[in-house]
Structure 1
Amino acid sequence: MKIYDVEGFPNPARVRIALAEKGAMDKVEFVPVDVMGGEHRTDAFKAKNPDAVVPCLELADGSHISQCTAITEYIDRHFEGASLTGETPKERAQISMMNLRAENGLLNAVGTYFHHATPGLGPDLETYQCAEWGSKQKEVAGETMTYLDEVLADNEYLAGNAFSIADITAFAGLAFADLAKVEIPASLSNLIAWREKVAARPSIAG
């Protein structure tokens, strides 16, 4: 099993955290991709992942799985350990719902702001930018932070009382927000406390 990624990037971090939660970091081979050099846009890489993004999972039979949620679903079912995606139909639905809210409203929103309304990864990679759209998505990210803070007022984690893929996605989204200089308002005490608690998990703190 191979994972093509860039260590330290937000989406690859989601998969690495999931692997660490399952105690499976030593069960995969990490293959670095030169994103800054445009390797992810080459025909050779797009043959593996037509989305032209990292991470991408390669299985022993030569097939490939992209999209972080799909990769994490596979990891969660393939390796033993506490489930990150839920066991019952209700748990799975609630976790999926919160993961999508964290992904679309925070991680992707911050990403859109970073790639469109800031220099991003530089002119060689940021070949199209719409600053107005990027700025709007910064607003969406702020609104989502407020929403997540409200959720955490009544829950230990984003989808209830168990750590899940939704928490991983939101944690990565806040890390991306740091990079993009999108600050968490100091008034969001529940979100700030949750982040500190998640950061202390062995899968993240090391």
Structure 2
Amino acid sequence: MKLYDIPGFPNPLRIRIVLAEKGLGSQIEFVKVDLPAAEHKQPDFLAINPTGTVPVLQIDDGTYISECTAITEYLDNLDGNPVLTGRTPREKGVIHMMQKRAESQLIDAVGIYFHHATPGLGDALRAHKRPEWTDREVWGRQERVRAEAGMRYFNEVLSRQPYVAGDAFSMPDITVWAGLLFAGFAQIPVPDDLTHLHAWKARVDARPSVREPA
């Protein structure tokens, strides 16, 4: 298998954590995609993934799978023992519900703020930003508020249970963790009073797969 990504960036890190959790890192050939140079927006890459985003997993039959949730589903189920995406219908339903919230209420909001209300990754990507967003300050303020509201939502969730989807570490924990990492890049701090979120992050930071992702 091949993984098209770039080390250290939030969404690629999500999949590298999955690989470490599943012990699959040695089975992957990593192909670096130069995001600051806008390599992911060029025709060769768009032929692999028309949305122009990383990561993208190429499986052994040549199929390309993009989107972190889909890649995680594939990797987690390869051995018939899904530990990140749920075993029972109830687990799967709750995990995917919280995964959607982790994306829409946190990591996507941070990403929009970072890429469209700040210089982002630099000039090479400027031409690929959404031209209809002319008032960057207004959009940035709205998305930053949404991200901060997402942090407060997950703090409340974690006041009742140890992990985002319940009693066990799963896919949405990885997404919320990556969202907070991205927020740090974007200079959106986690408020000090979100004590449950801070305590959860400390536990996740200590996981071997997070300390040493694939």
Fold agreement, TM-score > 0.5: yes
The aligned residue for residue 153 of structure 1 is 159
Match of 1:136 among 138, 142, 158: 142
Higher normalized contact order (CA 8 Å, seq sep 6+, divided by chain length): 2
The 5 A counterparts of 1:40-51 are 40-51=40-51
SS of residue paired to 1:3: strand
Q: What SS class does the counterpart of residue 65 from structure 1 fall into? A: strand
CA positional deviation for 1:82:
5.4
The one-letter amino acid of 2:173's match is D
CA deviation vs aligned residue, 1:22-54 (integer Å, no higher than 9, x gap): 111111111101122221112111111111111
User: Do structure 1's residue 55 and structure 2's residue 61 form an aligned pair?
Assistant: no
Q: Residue 207 of structure 2 aligns with which residue? A: 201
- Across the aligned residues of Structure 1 and Structure 2, the Cα RMSD in angstroms comes to 1.2
Aligned partners of 1:173, 1:122: CA distance in 2, in Å? Answer: 20
Give per-residue Cα distances to partners, 1:35-81, cap 9 Å, x unaligned: 22221112111111111111000011111000010000000001465
Q: 2:172 aligns with which of 159, 166, 172?
A: 166
Q: How does 1:8-157 map to 2 (within 5 A)?
A: 8-79=8-79, 83-127=83-127, 128=129, 130=133, 131=136, 132-157=138-163
Alpha-carbon contact 1:24-1:79 (below 8 Å) kept: no
The worse-fitting range, judged by mean Cα deviation, of 118-127 and 195-204 is 118-127
Unaligned runs of 5+ in 1: none
Sequence identity of aligned pairs in percent?
50
Counterpart Cα distance in 1 of 2:82 and 2:70 = 17
Please give the secondary structure, in 2, of the residue aligned with 1:126. Answer: helix
- Kept in 2: contact 1:115–1:126 (CA 8 A): no
Determine the C-alpha separation between the residues in 1 that align with 2:208 and 2:115: 31
User: Which moves more between the two structures, 72-81 or 16-25?
Assistant: 72-81
Contact preservation (8 Å) 1:106, 1:173: yes
1:184 to 190, 200, 211: 190
Q: Which runs of 5+ in 2 are unaligned?
A: none
C-alpha separation in 2, matches of 1:18 and 1:123: 32
TM-score when normalising by structure 2: 0.93
Q: Which runs of 4 or more aligned residues in structure 1 lie more than 2 Å from their structure 2 counterparts after TM superposition?
A: 79-82, 126-130
> In 2, are the aligned partners of 1:38 and 1:125 still within 8 Å (CA)?
yes
Relative to the length of structure 1, the TM-score reads 0.97
